[in-house]
Amino acid sequence: MSDSDRLAQSAAQGNVAAFAELVRLHQGKLRAFLRRMARGDAALADDLAQEAFLEAYRKIAQFRGEGSFASWLAQIGYSRYLMYARKHKLESIDESIEQSHGTEAALHTKLDLEAALARIHPAKRAALTLCFAEGYSHEEAARIMNIPLGTLKSHVLRGREEVRTMLTAWKETP
């Protein structure tokens, strides 16, 4: 049992200090994940992360320790992001990202990657981020995103292909 699991058990018994420690330990990773999901909108990502932690506190008794606390938290955070995206129709701003990219001639590779990730479907963005940057297995990522394993693998393959196509096209653009 990890430290986070022990802290979660303690928090489930009403120990607020234990939950405070969980927030301190996991806030960076969750906020970073949500920032990528929110395409760099730090304020939105922090709001979503805050809501995710509050929801995690309310539901802490439901954490059974079947997966890691981090993956359970990421599941709540991703769910929060999806609810927000559905409510505010976030994908409609994809076009502005596409248009703005052409005006920046020489972007750093990392920024190019972020721009490419920002243009793909959120589910593919989440799948790539969870499986590559966050290092989750396909099974864990599928559980976090609450989708079948086959769908997750499809998102990873197609998402990577779309990003690769975009990066290649941008490199070839003078």
Partner 1 sequence: MSDDLDLMLSRPLDEPDEGAFSTRVLARLRQMQARDDRIEIAAWVLAACCILAILPMTGAGRMIALSASQLATSIPFALGITLLFLMRTFWETWAEG
107: helix, strand or coil: coil
Q: Is 83 in the site for partner 1 (CB under 8 A)?
A: no
**From candidates 18, 31, 74, 126, binder to partner 1 by CB under 8 A:** 31
- 142-161 footprint of partner 1 as x/- string (CB under 8 A): ------------------x-
Residue by residue, DSSP assigns 111-139 as HHHHHHHHHS-HHHHHHHIIIIIS---HH
Q: How far is CA 125 from the centre of its chain?
A: 8
Q: Which stretch binds partner 1 (CB under 8 A): 1-9, 22-30, 87-95, 139-147?
A: 22-30
DSSP state of 62: G
The answer to whether 50 contacts partner 1 (rule: CB under 8 A) is yes
Residue 59's contacts (CB-CB under 8 Å, 6 or more residues apart) are 76
- Select from 4, 7, 8, 36 the one that contacts partner 1 (CB under 8 A): 36
Q: Which token pair is 99? A: 């248009």
Residues that bind partner 1 (CB under 8 A): 16, 19-20, 23-24, 27-29, 31-33, 35-36, 42, 46, 49-50, 53-54, 57, 109-110, 113, 128-129, 132-135, 160, 163-164, 167-168
